[in-house]
Chain A
Amino acid sequence: MKLKVLLFAHLKEKAGTREAEVEVPAGASAGAVKARLGELYPGLRPMLDRVLMAVNQEYVSDDTLVSEGAEIALFPPVSGG
């Protein structure tokens, strides 16, 4: 399945895009999506062990399964305020 992944802050800058497209097998986990992003955008690799992932605006863990059409976002630990 094809997924769109929103990127923010330095992840967006390292990847050079605010929206990445990845293709992963149906029923892939969030961790697999993250790993695939690292292959497509090597600049993201050094940060992948600490980035946060959200699906439909909720935090998920690496073993959460992702479905087609979900709103997926990858970003650094937050630093607002």
Chain B
Amino acid sequence: MPSSHPSAGAEAAGPTIIRVVTALPDLEALLQSITLKTTGGACVFAGLVRGETHRDQPHETTRLEYEAYVPMAEAKLAQVAEEIRQRWPDIEGLALVHRVGVMEVGEPIVYVACTSAHRDRGLFDAAKYGIDRLKEIVPIWKKEVGPSGETWVEGDYHPQAGE
């Protein structure tokens, strides 16, 4: 199931790691794999299972169960990576790794990690774009399990044809 797609295009480009997995890789090892000799900074977004939500509709969460349409999810993760490289050509390494299966409170769900030579090369924006875009177009869904039962969560973004 895991696969990685070598990237093409931008001159700064290092490895692009795209995976839908049942167990996330060790974060330090993941960072090592997207670090070049020219790399001076990394930005990692990690999504975690939140046990108590206070914003919007406050509720408690016991666990989350994630399901993916794996081949399309990996294709769309690769698309997100390509969009990041077009917008921020100074990004060196890039990793978008999402876990599926049952996850307990506090556990990591997804890593979006980017590296670049310096921190002012779009590093933070690239990581933010990565997770925002993943939540729009990558076909993965979560079922939320809490004290009052379980519900599938639906996003609110409707991709255009070909997006």
* Interfacial residues, chain A to chain B (CB-CB below 8 A): 6, 8-10, 13, 50, 52, 54, 57-61, 64, 73, 75-81
Contacts and interface: CB of A to CB of B under 8 A. Distances in A.
Interface residues of B, number: 36
A79 B161 contact: no
Given A59-B160, A59-B162, A81-B109, A73 B134 contact: no
The interface residues of chain A, by DSSP majority, are classed as: loop
Given A9-B67, A75-B69, A80 B140 contact: yes
B136 A78 contact: yes
Contacts, number: 89
Given A9-B67, A9-B152, A73-B69, A78 B162 contact: no
B19 to A, nearest CB: 13
A76 B75 contact: no
28 contacts: A6-B69, A9-B141, A54-B69, A54-B139, A57-B72, A57-B75, A59-B162, A60-B162, A61-B161, A64-B161, A76-B152, A76-B154, A77-B155, A77-B156, A77-B157, A77-B158, A78-B137, A78-B138, A78-B140, A78-B155, A78-B157, A79-B140, A79-B152, A79-B153, A80-B135, A80-B138, A81-B98, A81-B140
Contacts of B121: none
Contacts of B98: 80-81
B141 A79 contact: yes
B47 A8 contact: no
B139 A75 contact: yes
A81 B134 contact: yes
